[in-house]
């Protein structure tokens, strides 16, 4: 078995290439970029893997679902909400379902496994933890979530530090630990 430690847009190309050559593959996905927006729990790295392996990834952008529409975002903008984080309509359905499942007691691993089944993805996508870990960037203008730093402000502020909120209480996903232990090869993919 091969296990890949993966982020999102930088990792999906490598993961898709290896997945085309073997079915005995696990992907341990980053959760530090996960973000709450509009009351929805968004998992960009898990979703990029899911969409890439499910052959629905918008490869031109490197994120989101190909040929997605953005009526939801246009409506949010009309209602006065910020729309710097581009959520497509089909993508929003994934976030809504995930959020509802979390609120109903499911963990991120079970939800991700269910989504893999729905998208006919054979590769195991395993969140590194089911606990909340949030990457925060300390800048000269204040502390920002990683998504705000990169997407909203395009990484322009001076970085003075990085915090991983929740990392001290997070527990490694047992399935991720087992995948690493059982692998003949562990690959750290580009982020």
Q: Which two structure tokens, joined as six digits, stand for 51?
A: 């969409």
**Other beta carbons less than 10 A from residue 145's beta carbon:** 19
Reading the chain (191 residues) residue by residue, the pLDDT tens digits are 999 999 988 899 999 999 999 999 999 999 999 999 999 999 999 999 999 999 999 999 999 999 999 999 999 999 999 999 999 999 999 999 999 999 999 999 999 999 999 999 999 999 999 999 999 999 998 999 999 999 999 999 999 999 999 999 999 999 999 999 999 999 999 97
CA distance 39 to 116: 23
CA distance 163 to 144: 10
CA distance 68 to 74: 13
Domains plus CATH for the chain? 2-131+170-188 (1.10.8.240), 134-169 (no CATH)
**Other beta carbons less than 10 A from residue 128's beta carbon:** 21
Q: Is the pTM of this model over 0.85?
A: yes
**Other beta carbons less than 10 A from residue 77's beta carbon:** 12
């Amino acid at each position: 078995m091969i296990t890949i430690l993966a982020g999102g847009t930088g990792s999906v190309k490598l993961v898709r290439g290896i997945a085309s050559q073997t079915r005995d593959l696990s992907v341990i996905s980053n959760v530090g970029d996960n973000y709450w927006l509009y009351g929805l729990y968004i998992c960009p790295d898990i979703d990029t893997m899911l969409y890439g392996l499910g052959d629905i990834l918008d490869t031109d952008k490197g994120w989101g679902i190909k040929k997605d529409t953005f009526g939801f975002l246009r409506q949010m903008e009309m209602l006065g909400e910020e729309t710097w984080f581009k959520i497509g309509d089909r993508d929003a359905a994934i976030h809504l379902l995930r959020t509802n499942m979390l609120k109903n007691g499911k963990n991120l691993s079970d939800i991700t496994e269910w989504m893999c089944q729905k998208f006919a993805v054979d590769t195991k996508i395993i969140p590194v933890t089911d606990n909340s870990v949030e990457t925060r960037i300390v800048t000269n203008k204040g502390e920002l979530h990683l998504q705000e730093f990169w997407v909203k402000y395009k990484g322009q502020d001076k970085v003075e530090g990085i915090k991983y909120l929740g990392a001290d209480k997070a527990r490694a996903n047992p399935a991720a630990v087992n995948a690493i232990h059982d692998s003949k090869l562990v690959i750290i993919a580009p982020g």
